[in-house]
Chains A and B, each alone.
Chain A
Amino acid sequence: MLGLSSKFFGAAMIIYIIATLVYLTYLVIRSEKIGHLATLTTLSGLIIHTTALALRTAASYQQGIGQPPFTNLYSSMVFFSWAIILTYLILEFKFKQKAIGVFVTPIAFILLAVTTLLSNQIEPLVPALQSNWLLSHVVTCFFGYAAFAVACGISIMYLVRVHCEEKGIGQGIVLKTLPPSELLDELAYKAIVIGFPFLTIGIITGAAWANYAWGTYWSWDPKETWSLITWFVYAAFLHARFAAGWKGKRTAILSIVGFLFVLFTYLGVSWLLPGLHSYAIINMFIK
């Protein structure tokens, strides 16, 4: 079952890169039909992706470990890319803007491509990680990250478009393919408005879990701190954009920087920074 789920993840990965090409074609030709085809392709990828996640969960139960699939790097990456596609499709449905798909589907593709390099084994959880808080923590964080990923894609499009407008390069094709800059600016804000409550709930459920597991809701461990840093950046974005009336380039840059912080929180912290990981310590000394 585990092997089968990996095959399904692979299939989803290929469908997403096809979807990227279809979105690209849609941008150039602007035909409604191709637009629909792009959405359908992404949707079918999502269905296969969902099936793969279900199979992986079932496999975990079969092995007697019994946990939803997002507790090691492999699991969290397949879940993250799934959340990105789901969030994107919801936004596409809500705002009727297909152009963003070109920037979002490749992100999901890349994430899935990286997982093919990792071991897909399901590892049992250390005791501290067996908690329903963990479940809500991971799910909300990843939906937040997914919305920020979409916002980042939109902000990049915004900067590309504005840059081309200013320099007068590629006018024809850029103006024809990318949505107007005002709209992009608005959409990036909307995506962050969706992501921010998720990140907030994610940080809070994480704190609740830490409190149940070892009695401190906040211990400034690098991962916690980085998620707070990310939260600060997006809070700065919201205040700049909504309350102080910043617009355009400055907020677009904040949105991209914010997503770089998300990526670092997610990947960089575990690889580059010393963690405290208070759990799983077996102390042999007693003083």
Chain B
Amino acid sequence: MVKKLVRFFSSLKLTISLLIILALTSIIGTVIQQQQNPAIYVQQFGKSTYQILKILGFFDLYHSWWFITLLALLALNLLVCSLRRLPRDLKLILSPKVKITDNELKSLRPQEKISTNLPSVDQTLEVVLTALKNSGFGCHHKVKDEGVGWYLFSERGKLGRLAFHITHLSIIIIFAGAIIGAAKGFKGFINIFEGEKGKFITLQSGGQGMRELDFEVECKKFEVIYYQDATGNPTNRPKDYKSLLAIHDHGREVLAKEIEVNSPLNYHGIYFYQSSFGEIPRLTITVKTRQGEPIGSFDVWEGGSFRFSDQNGQQTQVTLLRYFPDFYMNQNGQVDSRSNVPNNPAAFLEIKPANDQPQQTWVFYRFPDFPHGGQTDYRFSLTSINSGKKFTGLQVVRDPGVPLVWTGCIILIIGIIVLFSVPHERLWVVIADKGSGQEIMIIGNTNKNKPSFQGRFAQIVTNLKSDLADRTK
């Protein structure tokens, strides 16, 4: 039973099947966009198809249980296969068999028998040794056997025998790195305004959520450099963007570095990558009473809020929930922004009177005479849109598995190259004393590129024959 399992998990049929199944199923994840909002899928596939595809894990295929199982099977396959062969391969290179048995003699190819009538075994041995040396093989081991004569053995490319294990082990190392990264790392982003600090990371993987860093990051300066056109004027294609970041740990500035795309900042294994940038406009909201008496104008960013109180001392808080520079209704009847150009600026406000339920309302820049305020006693309008605050967009990543992944990758590259280019070649020579003259058996074996080895083997035999002929003259 155990034997059967081991055989199954080390079989190459399993390897080939897994590789082909992985290749084919991976295609699905490139055809269906991954990790989208469920609403988008429902609209695209319909409710029932959506349910089925969701159960199959097609919307996050590469993290679905069955895909991970396939990868795990491949890793197990690798491990069992390698472990099963390792003792044999180690023995092969650590204690090579100099005295070849008759059985092996029958099965190994290529082989060649030469007879010579040199007077003594030692003379023949000398000729053979010289020939081996000239062939580049040399002779690593020789054993005298009283009954037969001499056993010689030499080999090249021992590393080639191990390359199989090195290559396959490297893939296990890469898997291990990926698992550590997934278990212990995190990935998210943070937008920081120029001149401000931040420490809350919006996580991207493992659901939405926040993560608080135990230090603060400040964006001291942010800058975009544009490509120049033929006349030396800047175009609107960004060439590079840079942020001057500073780390504040326990209130002290401990590190400052300018980062740009392709050049991150690292603090205690947490990397900050320059990934985007942007600007949020400053909006002016004018508030009047329901009767039209002005109360005031307030500046606010998206996400920000302001308070005002009327003549009765009633406090009201207003929050700018969303800002759309180019408001429209898309085909699903959802509000959205058509572009980032302020063609039809609109703001979505939440109004919270001190002792009442919060209410929400839209205000439009293009329709100032259409002030909104719902059931409240006030009317709001969007009266101006001013150039805003710049922020730098940082990707924040901690992945303790990365060093292991790179180690595995480097070993993989070396392993594959050695696997393909270093054949393990072995050569045995048995010189049998026949009383009057000797019989020489030459046996070769390689684990790779047989034709080329056979060619060289034939060359060695030819040279040896002519050397022997020279000596007997």
Contact = CB atoms under 8 A, between A and B. Distances in A.
Interface of A: 63-65, 124, 126-128, 130-131, 186, 193, 196-197, 200-201, 204, 207-208, 211-218, 220, 222, 225-226, 228-229, 232-233, 235-236, 239-240, 243-244, 261, 269, 273-274, 278-279, 281-287
B191 A222 contact: no
A220 B62 contact: yes
Contacts of B454: none
Contact of B262 (A130, A239, A281): A130
A200 B340 CA distance: 41
Contacts of B141: none
Nearest to B393: A283
Nearest to A64: B228
B23 A283 contact: no
Nearest to A190: B449
Interface residues of B, number: 64
Contacts of B458: none
Nearest to A258: B23
B412 interface: yes
The 9 A-B pairs at the shortest CB distance, nearest first, are namely A215-B397, A127-B261, A232-B23, A236-B19, A222-B30, A244-B12, A204-B409, A124-B227, A229-B23
A98 to B, nearest CB: 19
Given A127-B239, A229-B26, A287-B303, A212 B264 contact: yes
Contacts of B417: 197
Interface in B258-304: 260-264, 271, 273, 275-280, 302-303
Contact of B277 (A228, A282, A285): A282
B28 to A, nearest CB: 10
Contacts of B29: 220, 225
B202 interface: yes
A239 B397 CA distance: 37
A239 B413 contact: no
B302 A130 contact: no
Contacts of A229: 22-23, 26-27
Contact of A244 (B16, B227, B239, B261): B16
Contact of B30 (A200, A214, A273, A281): A273
Contacts of A273: 30-31
Contacts of A215: 187, 264, 271, 273, 275, 395-397, 399
Contacts of A216: 187, 397, 399
B391 A286 contact: yes
A225 B26 CA distance: 7
B238 A127 contact: yes
13 contacts: A64-B227, A124-B227, A193-B420, A197-B413, A213-B262, A216-B399, A222-B30, A225-B62, A240-B16, A269-B30, A273-B31, A283-B191, A285-B322
Contacts of A261: 23
Contact of B412 (A200, A214, A240, A286): A200
B276 to A, nearest CB: 5
